[in-house]
Structure 1
Amino acid sequence: MEKEITKRSKNILMVVLIAGCFLSTLNQTLLNVAMSGFMDIFEVSAATVQWLSTGFMLVNGVLVPITAFLMKRFTTRQLFISSMFFLLFGSVLCACSINFGMLLTGRMIQAIGAGIIIPLLMTVVLYLYPIEKRGSVMGTIGFAMIFAPAIAPTLSGFIMEFSSWRWLFIGITPFILIVIILAFKYLMNVAETSKAKLDILSVILSTFGFGSILFGFSSAGSKGWDDPVVITTIITGLIVTTLFCSRQLTSKDPLLNLSIFKYKIFTLTSLINVLITMIMYADLILLPIYLQDGRSFTAFEAGLLLLPGAIINAFLSPVTGRMYDKYGAKPLFITGLVFIIIAMWGVIDLSASTTYFYLLLRTCILRIGLSFITMPINTAGLNALPRELGSHGSAVNNTIRQLAGAIGTAVVITIYTIQSTSYAQELSLENGHISAVQLAKLASIFGSSSAYIFMLVLSFAALILACFMPTQKAKNHKNTTKKNVFKQSPN
């Protein structure tokens, strides 16, 4: 009977956490195809409206490194319910916005909640499940983490085209309230809390370090790499982050325990994770640019193209999770990267006649590949660590993803801008009679193809790294997995 209750408690806990994760990740990419609409609505420039994405990423990025401390200091209930209230308050503020400043403030409040949920969810899995079952559980979590941000552009495009932009935020508010009510009723605490002391200097260093790097790379795509602000913030961020890392390595109770990189598999999966995240984020930016600027598709049509792949990706995630438990990481990584390489190879020669169906099929192939890697790579990395380092591993994983996403997007947009500008100049010299509109479209198509060549190179680099993964199945570490006890306290 006790086992039955424990299993039921685990299931309820995971349902509530996954629901919160789904809403959080959905919200993260919900505004990607709505940016041009907000430029017209609030009469702001492209550089200003980009802060809706950059600001969210900055807050999320600087918060993630301290989540390991938060998970030691506060209970599961306290952290999860607090994060959902931040998400709720931010969404209400965004929905009621009367100017851009109010919208941006609400967006950054949303990011506080989003920054806590995913590392918390990963750490809970490490506490609740033995090593041989984590792949399946992570696969289920992947359904939320992958499906939500992938359907967000379609949903956003539909709302922007057929309804008021305020429904981007009004629509998710009732669901957040439902999750909060369920959390109060059913959510249990996992693991013990401790009176951990907060290293204020480390918090300051991580905030300025990671924040500056994220801001610098996020700004590089629009301002250019030679902009003084971009150069200054990236250099400052690298110096401050180096000081932060040095402090963590010498501290007896580090804010972020970097000794996890002594574990070879964790380091290897982190490197692959960087490359995969760069590819994934860059594709979500680059494909809509090609479709809208190069081919004159609407935001809704651009978002709709991503939907079939998103559905395939989401439903394959639990399957690949079970495959990970059975076969281990290496065969999954190699299989996934072969699909990704095929998908990237298929778009290095885009033209004005490339069909919508071809791009849809190619995106499905890419998403099949990602489903073999995205969650298994997190599972493989965290499984390589002792359980007491799980929260630090989860925090590092999510910090890496934020940095890789910003860097990948910035580099790809830079390549796209340089190549499209260069091609436009050549084309205008060769054919002076071409219209400005047609010139811009052809230049956008050429720039997109060039950027995809870079992403193809990243795919091959990831495949080489995957070949160094050890060939082994997840083993049952019964001796190292202690029996979990649920705390029934309401705090």
Structure 2
Amino acid sequence: MSAKQIKPSYGLLAILMTGAFVALLSNTLLNVALPSIMNEFDVSPATVQWLSTGYMLVNGILIPTTAFLISKYTARRLFLIAMGLFTIGTLISGFAPSFSILLVGRMVQASGAALIMPLLMNVLYTSFPPEKRGSAMGMFGIVMIFAPAIGPTLSGWVIQHYNWSVLFFMMAPLMVLVWVLGFFKLHDKKESSNAKIDALSVALSALSFGGILYGFSSAGNHGWSAPSVYFTIIVGVLSLAWLILRQFKLDEPMLDFRVYRYPMFALSSAISITLNMAMFSAMLLMPIYLQNIRGISAMDSGLMMLPGALIMGIMMPITGKIFDKYGPKILAYVGLTIVVITTFLFGQLTDSTEYIHLVVIYSVRMFGISMVMMPIMTNGLNQIPPALIPHGTAMNSTIQQVSGAIGASLLVTIMSNRTSVHAENMLAEAMAKLTTTPTGEALVELQQHITMEATISGINDSFLVSTGIAVVAFILSIFIKRTTFPKPLETK
């Protein structure tokens, strides 16, 4: 990619952001619908989870190739292909007569979604000068956070009143409209390129990121001792090492790891990884607590997250402007302090914690995250030269996928293990206090009560681990330095 600054095209940005918003919203809509799909097609929880796991795997495999594709092709061409694939996948899913066809549709969706987010981030970044990139990335943050946050609420309402297929059908017309707008309105130009992608790098990328994502995603269901878990993780790590070594030997690497020669980009990646892992705690554990323990509906669970989403949507552009003026350090300190405190407070749940109390804590937590995520990412990208921007954006998208999978599996595993430990201890204590061994309904009631209390304790333990992860992010933020202009590209 040329180092020359692109003149901002707000029509282009609006179309790209709308496409990204639709793609992210459509993805998050499905999570609440998984139980309904499981019942209709008579599949197990482990099988239906492939609708999410498979989607994430395809994303993780394809996203590393986006740096090469962005450098070679125009934004118009990539956007039309991406939205076309996503729309086709959506229609296949909506009309799916069987679970296998639905899974195919989701895979096609994922192949389009993998292109959209890195493409949008790259266009946003290269369209604005360094002093305005915070505001530009703040707009991107609205898309990245707001769509997933309102998805569960909207999905809960649809599932209560209609069939799950409506989730796909209601998005399809908007996707077609966005594709048509892109076809007629996008006219960016790029110098022709004869670059060819390295087939071995693509294969290694699939093995490395696919293996790591699959291994960690499967740990929650099968446990860490299962061969399907540790073997795929080992294959993924070894393939990743080979992939990195190969990229340094290529004249035109598929994913240029030289971006990590720039210390602020490397630091921003480390902070993003830890923050992303910590962020998944509330997204995963709160629905379990609200629906399984408290008996709150899926829609009300989604509504709990809505105020936080609105706050993030409002704050993203504001924190972007603050970043442009003052830099990332003060935002990181304040934001991560809020994240640490609110995550710790989430680790104090009981069977009678008030709903409004949870809404307030979650909203304040999202306020803190809004002050950190995009400013940190933007500060890192500001240090790398324009020629490496596509690789930096692809790297950011990749680590979000991988860290999300690792964080999710780690926290769910901790919750499950600690729940079992607490249940054993509570049962032993209860039996020691009783003069007679309970039977029948009394035994069932005792077991149900212990299961509920043990699960709450397991969730609290997982939140406390998440608090520790957030503390690591805060410690890393101490070393942040403001970067304004990218340095010249270093030679090999």
TM-score by length of 1: 0.93
Measured in 1, the distance between the counterparts of 2:62 and 2:179 equals: 21
Query: Does 2:377 correspond to 1:348?
Result: no
Show the counterpart of 1:16. 15
* Paired residue secondary structure (2:32): coil
* Paired residue secondary structure (1:33): helix
Query: Does 2:455 correspond to 1:444?
Result: yes
1:36-75 matches, cutoff 5 A: 36-75=35-74
Shift of 1:348: 1.4
Show the counterpart of 2:152. 153
The C-alpha deviation readout for 1:460-487, integer Å capped at 9, x for no partner, is 10000001001x3746x8x99xxxxxxx
Shift of 1:51: 0.5
* Paired residue secondary structure (1:156): helix
Query: Does 2:311 correspond to 1:312?
Result: yes
Measured in 1, the distance between the counterparts of 2:346 and 2:281 equals: 13
Measured in 1, the distance between the counterparts of 2:363 and 2:24 equals: 20
Show the counterpart of 1:109. 108
The C-alpha deviation readout for 1:180-219, integer Å capped at 9, x for no partner, is 1110111122543411111000100111111011000000
8 Å contact from structure 2 (residues 383, 483) kept in 1: no
* Paired residue secondary structure (2:30): coil
1:397-408 matches, cutoff 5 A: 397-408=396-407
8 Å contact from structure 2 (residues 133, 324) kept in 1: yes
Measured in 2, the distance between the counterparts of 1:384 and 1:342 equals: 31
Query: Does 2:411 correspond to 1:427?
Result: no
Which stretch shows the higher mean deviation, 120-129 or 87-96? 120-129
The C-alpha deviation readout for 1:41-82, integer Å capped at 9, x for no partner, is 211111111101100100000000000111122211110011
Measured in 1, the distance between the counterparts of 2:363 and 2:57 equals: 30
Letter in 2 for 1:233: T
8 Å contact from structure 1 (residues 92, 173) kept in 2: yes
8 Å contact from structure 1 (residues 292, 302) kept in 2: yes
Shift of 1:157: 1.3
8 Å contact from structure 2 (residues 273, 403) kept in 1: yes
Measured in 1, the distance between the counterparts of 2:279 and 2:470 equals: 11
* Closer/same/farther in 2, CA of residues 245 and 473 from structure 1, 3 Å limit: closer
Show the counterpart of 1:94. 93
8 Å contact from structure 1 (residues 133, 325) kept in 2: yes
1:460 pairs with one of 466, 471, 477 = 471
The C-alpha deviation readout for 1:96-130, integer Å capped at 9, x for no partner, is 11111111111111111110011111111232111
8 Å contact from structure 1 (residues 62, 211) kept in 2: yes
Show the counterpart of 1:233. 232
* Paired residue secondary structure (1:286): helix
1:157-168 matches, cutoff 5 A: 157-168=156-167
Measured in 2, the distance between the counterparts of 1:143 and 1:396 equals: 20
Show the counterpart of 1:486. none
Measured in 2, the distance between the counterparts of 1:66 and 1:272 equals: 23
Measured in 1, the distance between the counterparts of 2:189 and 2:134 equals: 20
Measured in 2, the distance between the counterparts of 1:315 and 1:28 equals: 22
Which stretch shows the higher mean deviation, 251-260 or 37-46? 37-46
Measured in 1, the distance between the counterparts of 2:415 and 2:301 equals: 18
8 Å contact from structure 1 (residues 61, 402) kept in 2: yes
Show the counterpart of 2:293. 294
Measured in 1, the distance between the counterparts of 2:73 and 2:33 equals: 36
The C-alpha deviation readout for 1:322-380, integer Å capped at 9, x for no partner, is 11101111111111101101211111121001110010001001100111112112211
Measured in 1, the distance between the counterparts of 2:303 and 2:419 equals: 25
Which stretch shows the higher mean deviation, 234-243 or 369-378? 369-378
Shift of 1:281: 2.5
Letter in 1 for 2:108: I
Q: Which runs of 5+ in 2 are unaligned?
A: 1-5, 432-442
8 Å contact from structure 2 (residues 281, 463) kept in 1: no
Show the counterpart of 1:142. 141
Measured in 2, the distance between the counterparts of 1:215 and 1:368 equals: 31
Which stretch shows the higher mean deviation, 220-229 or 281-290? 281-290
**Quick one: percent identity of the two aligned structures?**
41
Q: Which runs of 5+ in 1 are unaligned?
A: 1-5, 481-491
Measured in 2, the distance between the counterparts of 1:93 and 1:435 equals: 47
Measured in 2, the distance between the counterparts of 1:297 and 1:425 equals: 27
Letter in 1 for 2:470: S
RMSD: 1.6
Letter in 2 for 1:422: V
8 Å contact from structure 1 (residues 293, 444) kept in 2: no
Measured in 1, the distance between the counterparts of 2:166 and 2:189 equals: 35
Measured in 1, the distance between the counterparts of 2:351 and 2:406 equals: 29
Measured in 1, the distance between the counterparts of 2:483 and 2:229 equals: 45
Measured in 2, the distance between the counterparts of 1:190 and 1:451 equals: 49
Measured in 2, the distance between the counterparts of 1:381 and 1:206 equals: 23
Show the counterpart of 1:469. 480
Shift of 1:431: 2.7
Measured in 2, the distance between the counterparts of 1:28 and 1:57 equals: 10
* Paired residue secondary structure (1:31): helix
The C-alpha deviation readout for 1:433-463, integer Å capped at 9, x for no partner, is 4444333322221111010000000111000
Shift of 1:282: 3.1
Aligned residues: 471
Measured in 1, the distance between the counterparts of 2:411 and 2:189 equals: 41
Measured in 1, the distance between the counterparts of 2:278 and 2:192 equals: 38
1:163-174 matches, cutoff 5 A: 163-174=162-173
* Paired residue secondary structure (1:189): coil
Letter in 1 for 2:478: C
